Amino acid sequence: MSIGDNVRRILGQLPEGVQLLAVAKGRKPQEIMEAVAAGVTMVGENYVQEAARAREVIGGMVAWHLIGHLQRNKVKKAVEVFDVIETVDSPELAREIDRACARLHKLMPVLIEVNSAREVGKTGVLPEAAAGLAAEIASLPHLKLVGLMTMGPLSGDPEDSRPYFAAVRRIAEEIRSLRLTNVEMRYLSMGMTASFRVAVQEGANIVRVGTGIFGAREYTQADGEDAL
């Protein structure tokens, strides 16, 4: 099936209110354009430089989401390129993004990345620290917390991710109950190609699909970049 066929098939499987984010890591702008033509409105990139190159071609036809780990020395460029940052995982990173956005007079929607499975070596705040980070972000004038993001454990069985998706949904409910100023818990970004159906059942309203749209990805130079 073509990229466009894959997009239309997945969109047809998503309930109303669930948005498809096309994961474009390592993809050519022409491939992304094919997905956009088929109905994709949100593109996720892992690397700042790669996103900047793609955005030069595609522009503002879609919302650009950063879904890779953001190093603090890349924040200045990231806030210029991206419309949403899904991977805030520390107060220090949040403050750095706020300072960069202040220079641009920009309000940046952000999601907190939660390391829901507590995996060593994975980025994301631990579940018990998410509410505290939400309060920190609420105090920053150029950030707006709009939800949570999680990867879930890598596994051949999508059901293995279900308890972690459910846990992140409960964290979102906890943060919502705090009624923090400047916080709107609108989004749960959970689930990928193999697990997005389970994620939707557990409350996801953004699903991040790469292979299911573009096919298997070949190794690119970006994989070796110390970009994010």
Q: pLDDT tens for residues 146-184?
A: 999 999 888 779 999 999 999 999 999 999 999 999 999
Cβ burial 25-41 (10 Å sphere, 16+ → b, else e): bbbeeebbbbbbebebe
Is 221 contained in some domain? no
Q: In which band, very low, low, confident or very high, does the pLDDT at 227 lie, cut at 50, 70 and 90?
A: very low
For residue 14, being part of any structural domain is answered with: yes
**Total domains present in the chain:** 1
Is 219 a residue whose pLDDT tops 50? no
Domain of residue 127, residue span: 3-215
In tens, the pLDDT along 87-123 reads 999 999 999 999 999 999 999 999 999 999 999 989 9
Residue 222 reports pLDDT greater than 90: no
Is the residue at 38 inside a domain?
yes
For residue 225, being part of any structural domain is answered with no
Q: Is residue 42 part of a domain?
A: yes
- Residue that the structure tokens 């020395």 belong to: 73
Is 134 among the domain residues?
Answer: yes
The total number of residues shown for the chain amounts to 228
Task: Let me know if residue 223 belongs to a domain.
Answer: no
Give pLDDT, residue 216: 86
The verdict on residue 97 lying in a domain is yes
Distances (CA, A) of 122 to 90, 152, 185: 13, 10, 23
Q: Which CATH number goes with the domain that contains 136?
A: 3.20.20.10
Question: Where does residue 15 fall: left (phi above 0), alpha (psi -120 to 50 degrees), or beta otherwise?
Answer: beta
